[in-house]
Amino acid sequence: MRIFDTNVQQIKYEVLKALIRNAYENNIDNIYVDIPKMISPGPKATLRCCIYKERAILQERIKLALGGDKSNPNVIEVLDIACDECPIGGVFVTQACRGCIFHGCAEACPKGAISIIDKKAVIDKSKCIECGLCKKACPYNAIIEQHRPCVMSCKVKAITMDENKKAKIDNDKCISCGACVYQCPFGAIADKSFVMETIDILKNSNENKNYKVYAVIAPSIVSQFKYARIEQVVSGIHKLGFHQVVEAALGADITLYHEVNEFKEKGLLTTSCCPSFVMYIEKYFPEFRQYVSGSVSPMVETAKLIKSSDKTAKVVFIGPCTSKKMEYKTEKANEYIDSVISFEELQAFFDARDVDVTKLDDTALDNASFYGRIFAKSGGIARGVKDVSESMGIKGVNPVAMNGIDECKVNLLKLKIKKSEYNFFEGMACDGGCLNGALCLHHGPKNLADVDRYGNEAKEKTIDNSVKLYKLANGIKDE
């Protein structure tokens, strides 16, 4: 059964699995030689021009799996050696040009960049501004517009090409959403891994005798490991050495409670759950920083709850996105989160440790409410805010779910010019929400049905018990 969407994910997984296995066997001295040879044994190359280049790229992937470039604060990096197959992009005349006498393309060009040579249209790249008017004017659709997938995927225009035609990420613009990671067909843009940190945490716990290790799982996990029941996946996580598995949806319930109360005070609010959305506001709409919820994300809220009852606990978040890896390094989170791994990396852990979750018994998972669980999808927070505010007697909440950065931009621009009808803004950087995060095993509309079912299976239909637990942990008395 195919677990991943793409072969790029499969290669990343093979590297991670081999590294994790070697780390547990205390055999990492020769990983830069042994792992590439194991994955690409040769003598013929299967993916690149030669076996030597394949292995050189695998060595770069090992570096990322070991934490990447420590001098680069971004969790997303470009593997220069792997970035060399895509055309730079722009407007091109194809062989479909019929050499017509209409010459509509040349007439449409505002810069005079098109000449007719030997009856064919030719574009002068030094003059072309890539406006696309020639493309629209061609009656044969012979002119095309082509851009690199990474550039097209980046909604904040943080990716350009350097002098060597390699992708370059502008960290000042990047919001670490990871869209480029998933969309690059050659895997030349990838995320740093913290699997080695996680291994150290598990090993040094001495089977949870020195301290207990907790796994906090994102609600979107239910849409990922389709070959097993979620209860079996939870058992598998225990098998890896975790003391307890806690739903981040529990923290989502508490975050929802905070945001509803915060809206009551401010009258205008944007959510804090998606770190990339928060970064987007900070970098592109700084005038709205004051309206970003002061609540920490569900990941951090859950970890805070764990560490309030177990002061020595170590918490590892398991989720779908690069964004959470970036958040983990922030001041708000690093006190409570000790490491972050992705669903891709969890799969590598299972297989490296020979954990077949399909053969495990179920472990019940019932930490959160319906509302906390549906945070995984676009619109989940908006629905929760609407329903919970009404139950708390707070009127006037008019939420909008912004699905992807393009929708975030449109709605925030309307707010900027005072043309928005909404007063609560749920922002998700990934189309569809967390269930389509860049580091999911697979992506698609079927994931939505899994999250909805997961929400409906929650025994708690309100956030009341989660809020009581939060208040008890923080010594807060009900008014």
Rounded Cα distance between 390 and 383, Å, is 11
What's 211's DSSP letter? S
**Averaged pLDDT, 87-106:** 89
Amino acid identity of 139?
P
For residues 92, 94, 98, 100, the Cα torsion angle rounded to the nearest 10 degrees is: 0
pLDDT in tens, 220-233: 999 999 999 999 99
At residue 274, what is the residue type?
Answer: C
Nearest 5 degrees, angle CA 364-CA 365-CA 368? 150
Q: Residues 44, 46, 52, CA angle at the centre, nearest 5°? A: 60
**Partners of 315 in the beta sheet?**
214
Inter-CA distances, 249 with 37, 293, 392, 455, Å: 42, 18, 20, 10
Distance from C-alpha of 274 to C-alpha of 431, rounded to nearest angstrom: 12
Annotate 108-164 with DSSP letters as a single string: H-TT--EEEETTEEEE-TTT-----HHHHH-TT--EEEEE-HHHHH-TT--EEE-TT
Q: What share of the chain is helix, strand, coil (3-state, %, to 5)?
A: 45, 15, 40
Check residue 368 and report its DSSP letter: S
Each residue's pLDDT tens digit, 165-220: 899 999 999 999 999 999 999 999 999 999 999 999 999 999 999 999 999 999 99
Q: 368-410: per-residue pLDDT in tens?
A: 899 999 999 999 999 999 999 999 899 999 999 999 999 999 9
Which residues is 114 bridged to in the sheet?
Answer: 123
What pLDDT, on a 0 to 100 scale, did the predictor assign at position 120? 94
Confidence category of residue 1, pLDDT binned at 50, 70, 90: low
Instruction: Write out the DSSP string of 394-443.
Output: -----EEEEESHHHHHHHHHHHHTT----SEEEEESSTTSGGG-TTSS--
CATH 3.30.70.20 location in the chain: 67-85+154-192, 90-146
Q: Which of 343, 340, 345, 370 is nearest to 225 (CA)?
A: 343
Strand 143-147 relative to strand 89-93: parallel, antiparallel, unpaired?
antiparallel
Q: Which 8-state DSSP code applies to residue 212?
A: -
Q: Three-state secondary structure along 77-103?
A: EECHHHCCCCCCEEEEECCCCCCCCCC
CATH fold for the domain made of 90-146: Alpha-Beta Plaits (3.30.70)
Specify the DSSP class assigned to residue 377: S
- Give pLDDT, residue 285: 98
CA dihedral 304, 473, 311, 196 (to 10 degrees): -30
216 sits in which H/E element: strand 213-217
The pLDDT tens digits of the residues spanning 107-120 come to 999 999 999 999 99
Alpha carbon distance 310, 214 (integer Å): 10
Q: 322 or 367: whose pLDDT is higher?
A: 322
In the predicted model, what is the mean pLDDT of residues 225-254? 96
* 407 DSSP β-pair partners: none
Residue where the block lists tokens 């860049």: 438
- Band of residue 125 on the pLDDT scale cut at 50, 70, 90: confident
Instruction: Residue 256: name the closest of 225, 221, 219 by CA.
Output: 219
Whether 477 shows a pLDDT value over 80: the answer reads no
Q: Tell me yes or no: is domain 67-85+154-192 CATH 3.20.20.70.
A: no
- What pLDDT is recorded for position 87? 72
User: What pLDDT does 479 receive?
Assistant: 59
CB neighbour list of residue 18: distance below 8 Å, 6 or more residues apart: 31, 35, 38, 39, 352
pLDDT in tens, 291-331: 999 999 999 999 999 999 999 999 999 999 999 999 999 99
Q: Does residue 105 contact residue 137 with C-beta atoms inside 8 Å?
A: yes
